[in-house]
Amino acid sequence: MITAATNIEECPSAYAQNLVNVTAKREKNLATIANHEGHINRLVDANDKMRSPSWMDELVKPVAAILEKNLGANYDMQIVPSFGTASASVTILFTRRGIYKVDPAQLQPGDALRMTLRPTLNDVVSPLGIVNYTRDLGLYEAGSVGALTGLNHPTIPMIWTEETIMADFWEQNGGQPSTSN
């Protein structure tokens, strides 16, 4: 607080005291700021060290594990990220063991199976959706980039039960193949 001099003779000493008081208050404020800056810097560092949730690790890989468990040892699994226009999707691809040695023209139903997933960022209940290749929305002309990257197909919310995931998987692959191989 600044103290006013009551007469002219007190002006120099009042000024000196006011300068001391203001300087002390500023130093105290600067110390408080430094303390808060240190706290803010620690919070920023803590935020920088936090690991964001990974939709691949926490959503896609558990679904892939369910599919792999249910398909058994006859299939090899690959998780294939998409690139380009539809890069916010990932395909879980299953190929019958040994299929790499087969001429593609000789592929049989069930030799190659897939489930394509997309994050549904605003849906907390089902943060991952299944690309429904059984429906074509017709948003993009045949042969266009949108059509070629699967954007004509809607994403349906995933229901998070093993039974439903498997049912959706088989629906997307034209039904469960015969086991006579």
Residue 135, C-beta contacts closer than 8 angstroms, at least 6 positions apart: 153, 154
Domain count, the chain: 2
pLDDT of residue 174: 84
pLDDT tens for each residue of 121-138: 777 778 889 998 888 899
Domain that holds residue 107: 55-172
For residues 66 and 30, membership in a common domain is answered with: no
CB 81, CB 104: distance < 8 Å: no
3-state secondary structure of 107: coil
Low-confidence ranges of the chain (pLDDT < 50): 181
Q: What is the pLDDT of residues 89-113, one digit of tens each?
A: 888 988 888 776 666 666 677 788 8
Bridge-partner residues for 112, per DSSP? 95
Residues 98 and 84 in one domain: yes
The whole-number pLDDT of residue 24 equals: 94
